[in-house]
Every structure is written in C-alpha cells, then in structure tokens.
Amino acid sequence: MKLIGHTEITGSAANSIVFNSIPQQYSELYLILNFRGSPGSQGFETCIRFNDATSAYYSKHASATTGSISSGSNAYGPDELYLGNVNGSSSMANGFGSQRVHIPGYSSSLYKVVDYCATGAGSSQYGLIGTGIWESTDSITKIEVGPRFGLSETLLVGSSASLYAITADTFGGTTVS
C-alpha cells in the first residue's frame, strides 16, 4: 500500500476532510478514518461522497452491534454513503472512533463497491460492518468524508484521515509498495 494522502484536523474543528485529484493508476483505495466529533455524547454519523456527486445513488447494507444488541439496516439515497457512527466529544473519555473503507476498482467504468467497518464507544461499545455501492460509472477522483453533509456537526481537532492506494499485480494478487 502506498500513502497518497493524509489530513489531520488542527487548530479548529472542520466540516469534512477532502482528497482531491486522486491518481488513477492504482487498482484499489483504502481509507483509514480516526474521528471524534460534535455533538458531545452522541457523536454523529460519518458519511462519504465521491466526486461531489449527489445525483448518482448510494446504497448500503450494514450490520451493527451496540453492547449485546445486534441490528441490520439498508438505505438508498442520492447524497452520501453512511459509514457508521463516531464518538462524540465527551464519549469514552474523549476517545476517537475508527473506520476503515476499502474501494476496489475505483478507476473502473463499473459501479463502485465499497466495504467498510467502524468501531467506537460511548455509553456502550459499537461495531459495524457494511457494504455499499455508488451507482456511477465515473472514476473516483475526489473523496469527501465527514458528518452527514449539510448538518452543523463537525470533526474535532485531532481527527484524521489517511488514503492509501493498492496496486494489483499481473497474477491477481496484491503488491504492497
């Protein structure tokens, strides 16, 4: 894997983290998010958007556990893909929620499949695994992550995102560079 972008929130809170001009010569992208947000104890829903697209639909299926309770959900909409909740500013002794996002075939002319997982803790532990689809044949050249877009929630200082590229070799395996 090759690090192609990293952003850490410093100074003051931010609405989102954006990766622009994503190179197209790789076969997969891997995104690592470590977020803490407002509002306080409840945190917020993290979402991802590709190429500023709000007209190509995003769909997802996720399974979550909170403490001893498990649940599943499906969603479909034009604005963003839900990736799970992150810790609020006062939950878990001001800890960070962690999310991992894998995007194979991001530069292909097919719909983009996304798989992801999220962990966090507030009043109880939280875990989520999910899959999503961005129904567009465009290559992904821009990624924006943060709280649900259009809301007043923010990423707090110390939140970070790292974007890695993965190259497939000619035998279908993965080359780590």
Q: What is the pTM of this model?
A: 0.85
DSSP letter for 86, please. E
The residues near 30 (Cβ < 8 Å, ≥ 6 apart) are: 1, 100, 101, 102, 103, 163, 164, 165, 166
Reported as a single tens digit per residue, the pLDDT across 151-160 is: 778 888 999 9
Residue ranges per domain, the chain? 2-167
Options 1.10.287, 2.70.98, 2.60.40, 2.60.120; CATH for 2-167 is 2.60.120
| Per-residue burial over 40-78, b = 16 or more CB atoms within 10 Å of its CB, e = otherwise | eebbbbbbbbbbebeeebbebebebebeeeeeeeeeeee
Lowest average pLDDT, out of 1-10, 30-39, 57-66, 152-161, goes to 57-66
State residue 39's pLDDT score. 65
Distances (CA, A) of 169 to 73, 85, 172, 175: 36, 35, 6, 6
In the predicted model, is pLDDT for residue 41 greater than 60? Answer: no
Going by pLDDT thresholds of 50, 70 and 90, the confidence category of residue 6 is very high
Of residues 120 and 129, more confidence is placed in 129
